[in-house]
Amino acid sequence: MELEPRGGDRYCNKQGQEAALEADYVYPLLKSTDLSKGRCVPSRSVLVTQRHTSEDTSPIAASAPLTWSYLNSHQNAFQARKSSIYSGRSPFAVFGIGEYAFEPWKVAVSALHHQARFVLVCPHQGRPVMFDDTCYYLAFAGWEEADVVADILNSPPCRQFLNALIFPGTKRPLTVE
């Protein structure tokens, strides 16, 4: 559900299809590569259909008809998802979403890069930033806590500790385990 903003309410998906979508369900997106390079200003967007995985997506039909139409036009792709996570869920359900995702301040890290770099991420254009599944993050209501945590996680003692846990040559050096 990654999108490239085209201006106004227009977005382009990865298949090169352009669509108009209501802003209510479109959020700024950062990916692992962005975080590994220290980028905290998103250039991509993502369509988020729920605030938690068990939430019914059908109210989108009334509140955001353009978005609902877009989702329905891609219904086959949603139905083709093989993960059991989506079994029995609402159509267009997303994974890895919860109230924490909508907190304004985050400290995020790429799970795919061997040098852990924790990035303080602020809201973008008044919206909380979302991350793809190659990132981990901690969410905060306020800047002060997020800033302190980012400083601690980027401190030399913490970085040394994390480096001792990372095995060279692994595909996903950082995991929650």
173 in a structural domain? no
Phi, psi (rounded to 5 degrees) for 6 = -115, 0
User: Which tens digit of pLDDT belongs to each residue from 71-106?
Assistant: 999 877 776 666 666 666 677 777 778 999 999 999
Q: What is the pLDDT of residue 177?
A: 64
Does residue 21 contact residue 9 with C-beta atoms inside 8 Å?
yes
Residue 70 domain boundaries? 2-165
Give me the pLDDT at residue 173, please.
65
pLDDT digits (tens, 9 = 90+) for 111-134: 888 788 899 999 999 999 999 988
Q: How many CB atoms lie within 10 A of CB 28?
A: 21
Q: Per the domain annotation, does 26 fall within a domain?
A: yes
Residue 61, in any domain of the structure: yes
Domains held by the chain: number: 1
142 touches 103 (CB < 8 A): no
Is residue 171 a part of any domain in this protein? no
Q: Is residue 98 part of a domain?
A: yes
Q: What is the pTM of this model?
A: 0.89
Per the CB < 8 A criterion, the answer to whether 49 and 21 are in contact is no
